[in-house]
A and B are shown apart, each in its own frame.
Chain A
Amino acid sequence: MTELTKLTLAAALDGLKAKEFSSREITQQFVDAIEGARTLNAYVVETPEKALAMADASDAKLAKGEGGKLEGAPLGIKDLYCTKGVRTTACSSILGEFTPTYESTVTQNLWDEGAVMLGKLNMDEFAMGSSNETSRFGPVVNPWRRKGDNRDLTPGGSSGGSAAAVAGDLCLAATASDTGGSIRQPAAFTGTVGIKPTYGRASRYGMVAFASSLDQAGPISKTVEDSAILLEAMCSHDMKDSTSLNVETPDWRSDVSKGVKGMRIGIPKEYRMDGMSAEIDKLWEQGIEWLKVAGAEIVDISLPHTKYALPAYYIVAPAEASSNLARYDGMRYGARVDGDNLTATYEGTRAGGFGAEVQRRLMIGTYVLSSGYYDAYYLRAQKVRTKILNDFVDAFDSCDAILTPTCPSPAFAFGEKSGDPVEMYLNDVFTVTANLAGLPGISVPAGLSDSGLPLGLQVIGKALDEAACFRVGGELERAAGFVAKADKWW
């Protein structure tokens, strides 16, 4: 039997429509693959019965020549999205066995288009982490390994489960979310594609909140075209999220093949960081060359406040988290740890339910918002954010999109960076600026490191110009011809 799990989303949708195979067949193959890949720890909830029931419903529609844009396509869902009747904990102990009685808007959009849910994907607790090591269920293991080295590597984070599941053929594509790089960094670490759209494109309703002014939904997939297909289905205007933008979702799929002829591509000099490895620099140069050959004009640009993006992020994100996560008090849902009095119950519940990294960020957030420090930290950081956005606005006067590496390094081994929080935070140095400025950013696999691991290039577009990300991303994908897959060892 053909291995349907290896198909791209686009090819699978074509095959389903042409009745070359049924949704039940492809779904069953994924169910079996997931069962055989538990070593990777990508799924924290498997929903095989639900998946097969959804597949049968899709097959009935497909038989009549009906169905939505994703009819019959099996997907994985990051555990950050509330799914009605299926446990959702954002991989935090504090949510206990929380089982939503409602559906997130993004996932509802996918089911409305006929997608099939395979299960919930592992992630860093409340999306706070860059290595998946903060999950209550233990880390996801990257399907990729270094050449001649059997050590387990991180798939990145926080959407590590989404990235590993796509790279390991455990779903056709997956939902993910990005607050500081949580879609793009894991995509880069696993040889997959991931895009964070403009802030407000996708509804945040039913997504477990981390930092509300930065959180944004997006897909991780095998190809740029697949990301376009899935993102189109995920985005919508939603009255249930007041920051959701009332704008049309364009046909991004057609942008993927348009090429970059005549586009101006900005290269920000501030992203050439001290100590950046030679192979990352080489990949970036290669990317520039590919786009030049394809007819783009390369423009040197400056984003002078780049170095302040991460420190600003580590004020804004923890501050918003400390406010958002105040809801976990053990009273109305989640796990409760009883104490001698109400305060002791609160404090015990939160000390027992939150992991070390979440506690650290909540305390930082509480500190920077506390009386006497608000102006010095939070307000200043929000002003620095304006300067970072203005840097981009100025740069976009002379270019249509910006090309950068996605990450300063390839995937690393567990424990290699968990000793020093700041060192871990530096992983997001190239991705976090797009969150602070609310801009769309895509990561596309573009080559292999000397150690045989995937490396990604990032394209940042203007606000609401995901089309530029898809055009440039599509060109990079064609030029790179990246087809490498992790050798199956699991």
Chain B
Amino acid sequence: MSVTKDDVRKVARLSRIAVTDAHAEELVGELNGILNWIDQLNEVDVDGVEPMTSVVETTLPMREDVVTDGNIQDQVLANAPRSEDGFFVVPKAVE
């Protein structure tokens, strides 16, 4: 499979990464180089093979559904690019 410049634009959009026209052009070649190389996986017969999830057989641990921390507003906001009155300040999301 290979990608076109439109595919690159779409993937960049889905990845939320702004790309210029020239950069999209470059990426077509780079991504196709990688995708052509990984296409060799099609040679492998995977009929009836389960996809791997974990190397050591294990079940996910459960714990009581209780609050174990909290009241750390200062810590939560400590690295915010912008905050005011205990809130994150973000661009307008709803018109």
Contacts and interface: CB of A to CB of B under 8 A. Distances in A.
Interface of A: 96-99, 101-102, 198-200, 213, 239, 242-243, 245-246, 305, 307-308, 311-312, 314-315, 322, 326, 329-336, 338-339, 341-348, 350-351, 354, 359-360, 362-364, 366-367, 370, 373, 376-377, 379-387, 389, 420-422, 436-439, 463-464
A350 B43 CA distance: 36
10 contacts: A96-B81, A97-B79, A98-B79, A314-B38, A329-B16, A332-B80, A333-B80, A359-B15, A363-B27, A438-B56
Contacts of A360: 27, 30-31, 34
A183 B3 CA distance: 33
Contact of B16 (A308, A343, A386): A343
Interface in B1-41: 1, 3, 7-8, 11-12, 14-19, 27, 30-31, 33-35, 37-41
A345 B41 contact: no
Interface in B34-63: 34-35, 37-44, 46, 49-56, 58, 60-61, 63
Given A331-B81, A345-B91, A364-B31, A243 B14 contact: no
A386 B15 contact: no
B67 interface: no
A288 to B, nearest CB: 27
Nearest to B74: A101
A377 B16 CA distance: 21
A245 B34 contact: no
B34 A370 contact: no
Given A350-B15, A381-B41, A387 B34 contact: no
A422 B33 contact: yes
A366 B88 contact: no
Contacts of A383: 44, 46, 49-52
A385 B52 CA distance: 6
Interface string B82-93: 100000101111
Nearest to A84: B75
A210 to B, nearest CB: 16
A421 B30 contact: yes
B12, B16, B30, B88: residue with the most chain A Cβ atoms closer than 10 Å? B16
Contacts of A242: 60-61
User: Size band of the B side of the interface?
Assistant: 35 or more
Given A305-B44, A311-B41, A421-B34, A331 B88 contact: yes
B66 interface: no
A350 B17 CA distance: 5
Contact of B11 (A243, A326, A363): A363
B50 A350 contact: no
A386 B38 contact: no
Contact of B40 (A311, A359, A370, A437): A311
A422 B15 contact: no
A381 B53 CA distance: 11
A398 B84 CA distance: 64
A276 to B, nearest CB: 19
Q: Which 9 A-B pairs have the closest CB atoms?
A: A438-B55, A382-B51, A333-B79, A101-B75, A347-B18, A383-B46, A336-B81, A351-B18, A385-B52
Given A213-B53, A382-B52, A438-B54, 13 more contacts: A200-B56, A200-B58, A239-B61, A239-B63, A311-B37, A311-B39, A315-B41, A332-B76, A333-B80, A334-B79, A351-B18, A380-B46, A384-B41
Contacts of B51: 379, 382-383, 385-386
Contacts of B33: 420-422
A422 B34 contact: yes
Nearest to B3: A367
Contact of A330 (B17, B43, B53, B81): B81
B41 A362 contact: no
Nearest to B78: A101
Given A245-B56, A384-B44, A362 B49 contact: no
B55 A335 contact: no
A312 B15 contact: no
B93 A376 contact: no
Nearest to A422: B37
A344 B13 CA distance: 10
A367 B16 contact: no
A389 B16 CA distance: 34
B55 A243 contact: no
Contacts of B38: 311-312, 314-315, 377
Contact of B55 (A99, A198, A370, A381): A198
A211 B58 CA distance: 19
B35 to A, nearest CB: 8
A275 B37 CA distance: 18
